[in-house]
A = this chain, B = another copy of it.
Amino acid sequence: MRAIAVKQGERRPVLVDKPRPVPDAGQALVRTLRVGVDGTDHEVISGGHGGFPEGEDHLVLGHEAVGVVEEPNGTRFDVGDVVVPTVRRPPNGGNEYFERGEADMAPEGMYHERGIVGDHGFMAEYFVSHEDYLVKIPASLADLGFLVEPVSITEKAVELAYASRSSFEWDPESAIVLGNGSLGLLTLALLRDQLGYERLYCLGRRDRPDPTIDIMEELGATYVDSRVTPVSALAEEYEAMDLVYEATGYAKHAFESVHALAPNGVAALLGVPGSWEFEVDGGDIHRELVLHNKALVGSVNSNVSHFESAVDALAEMPEWFTDALVTNVYGLDDFAAAFDDDDTTIKTAVQFSTYEERR
């Protein structure tokens, strides 16, 4: 079967030929429908993040997948079930985090991530997965199922952020998403439709006309140009935010968020910056966190429960929104284009097969 991989020493995705995998006990064989591309894939390809499976000279890419069960192999699934796989897998026979369904809380070294670190991803015509890491979704979502994983990332982050405010009455009304990529836009839609925020903002650094600005405004959010209004000036120029969702990985944002927050607010941090030294007014940040009961909450990955919530959220997203968000879906013959990235691209995926086809 054909798969999209990055080889050791190379910095671009290539088509490789691999044997179709055979499911072990507990695993189902899944025919891949679509696999999304995101910033993590680009970091894996460039060598900035992730790692090859032990003993392998290549890594099959892809961690945002949707597929159809081809061989249930004794699992709880039926042939034709549409499923989305989670990303983390237990290395060396498992550990407590996986046993209790909280792979997302496992420390580094206690997980592999398919398509990212230590385990092949889903960009192949078929993949196998243990049934514990497959989430069934409605067939009506087959085309959009590759968005379940990114939405689940937000479900997890929002869950952590809200938990941090759960010991008192907290009725957030204003939120800003830092970052106008596909994850930021999906988060805006979720904050609006699932969590009922009255006032939403989205920070980017784009000139109009821009398709992401069009989408956020159609969602009712206000575009904030970070070149005009830095995060540190948000409270003054717009309003103090009950929730800040940091999805750029620009480290200064995390620290400036403290002053962007309203009293008792929380900033969820999701970006993954590299080492970067800079000056902060640490006393000011510390004092503001304390005197107004603010919190910074880091969040990574997501587990089955977040995937399940994400399916519900995705099902309610308006069609105009997902249509505008998914700028292109490429076939295998044209897969390289899915990894191109410019200001007209929001979200791309590679299509390996269609739900309707039977093989």
B300 x A293 contact (CB < 8 A): yes
Contact B293 A282 (CB under 8 A): no
Would you call A298 and B295 a contact (CB within 8 A)? yes
Chain B residues lying within 8 Å of A296, measured Cβ to Cβ, are: 289, 295-296
Q: Specify which chain B residues have a CB less than 8 angstroms from the CB of A290 in the assembled complex.
A: 269-272, 298-300
In the docked arrangement, what's the CA distance between A352 and B287, Å?
34
Q: Does A100 reach chain B (CB closer than 8 Å)?
A: yes
List CB contacts (< 8 Å) of A293-323 with chain B.
293-300
B283 contacts A280, C-beta separation under 8 Å: no
**Quick check: B293 and A295 within 8 Å, CB to CB?**
no
A296 vs B261: C-alpha distance when bound (angstroms):
14
Any B CB within 8 A of the CB of A236: no
Distance in Å from the Cβ of A207 to the closest Cβ of chain B?
27
Across the interface, which residues of B come within 8 angstroms of A282, CB to CB? 251-252, 254-255, 273, 276-278, 280
- Bound-state CA distance A290–B299 (Å) is 5
Tally of A interface residues using CB under 8 Å: 56
Asked whether A277 lies within 8 Å of B281 as measured between CB atoms, the reply is yes
- Please indicate the chain B residues that have their CB under 8 angstroms from the CB of A292 in the complex: 107-108, 298, 300
A2 within 8 A of B: no
Interface flag for A324 (CB, 8 Å): no
A165 near B: Cβ within 8 Å?
Answer: yes
A340 close to chain B: CB less than 8 A: no
B285 touches A251 (CB 8 A): yes
* Residues 137 to 159 of chain A near chain B (Cβ within 8 Å): 159
Option from B167, B271, B286 in Cβ contact (under 8 Å) with A159 = B167
Given contacts A293-B298, A295-B298, A298-B295, contact A281 B275 (CB under 8 A): yes
Q: A275 to B284, alpha carbons, bound, how many Å? A: 5
**8 Å CB interface, A333-357 against B:** none
Interface contact B281-A279, CB-CB below 8 Å:
no
Give residues 168-212 of A contacting B (CB, 8 Å).
Answer: 168-169
Q: Say yes or no for A15: interface residue by CB 8 A criterion.
A: no
Nearest Cβ distance between residue A283 and chain B, in whole angstroms?
Answer: 3
- Residues of A in contact with B (beta carbons under 8 Å apart): 100, 102, 104-105, 107-108, 159-160, 162-169, 249, 251-252, 254-255, 262-264, 269-300
Query: Can you list 6 A-B pairs with a CB-CB distance of less than 8 A?
Result: A108-B291, A251-B285, A275-B287, A289-B297, A289-B298, A295-B297
